[in-house]
Amino acid sequence: SIDKLSEFDQDTRNWVAEQLLRLCLRELFDFEFMQTDPNWSNFFYNHEQRKLYLLDFGAARTFKRSFLKHYYDVINAAANRDRDGVWDASLKLGFVTGEESQIMKNAHIDSVMIIGEPFASEKLHDFHAENMTQKIKALVPVMLKHRLVPP
């Protein structure tokens, strides 16, 4: 299963990680339907067939194109390191109201920029060295205190 990937060589782990990112983007932008439970047990990697399987659709949902257009704009802005674009698309999505304090605005944009880092370069992203989770975790208290609308 996918939680045993640490037993495989780096090339295999890189390939599976790339496939997971591709799957996520295809679910959203091609299928407009996504499995929204990111539990690793919902994915299976068959090393012999070099295939990744999605197993559980119990938490799957559809998305409207209007939402996906603005969601794409957020991802694209983050990938292009465009802080104003992240904020503008976040406003259109209703992720923020526009009345947030500067500290909340910065925390929101910073968190999106962190999540967008894997898409910001043509090079292979080093998730292990990145420590993305810790960076986001450091912003959570600010967002919990200053957020005006639910995430």
- Beta-bridged to residue 43, according to DSSP, are 54
Q: How far apart are CA 65 and CA 125, in angstroms?
A: 29
pTM: 0.83
Phi and psi of 54, rounded to 5°? -100, 125
Separation between Cα atoms, residue 142 and residue 101, nearest integer Å: 11
pLDDT digits (tens, 9 = 90+) for 35-87: 888 788 888 899 899 999 888 888 899 999 999 999 999 999 999 999 999 99
Whether the predicted pLDDT of 1 surpasses 70: no
The reported pLDDT for the residue numbered 56 is 83
Which of 3, 9, 37, 110 does the annotation list as catalytic?
A: 37
> How many other C-beta atoms lie within 10 A of the C-beta of residue 128?
8
Question: Hey, which bits of 37-123 come out as E strands?
Answer: 43-46, 51-54, 60-62
Asked whether the predicted pLDDT for residue 31 surpasses 70, the reply is yes
8 A C-beta contact, residue 110 and residue 139: yes
Residue 48 in tokens: 């012999």
Query: Is the pLDDT reported for residue 101 higher than 90?
Result: yes
Reply yes or no on whether 37 is catalytic.
yes
117-140 pLDDT, tens per residue?
988 888 888 877 778 889 999 999
Nearest to 46 by CA among 1, 90, 101: 1
DSSP three-state, residue 116: helix
> Residue 22 pLDDT > 70, yes or no?
yes
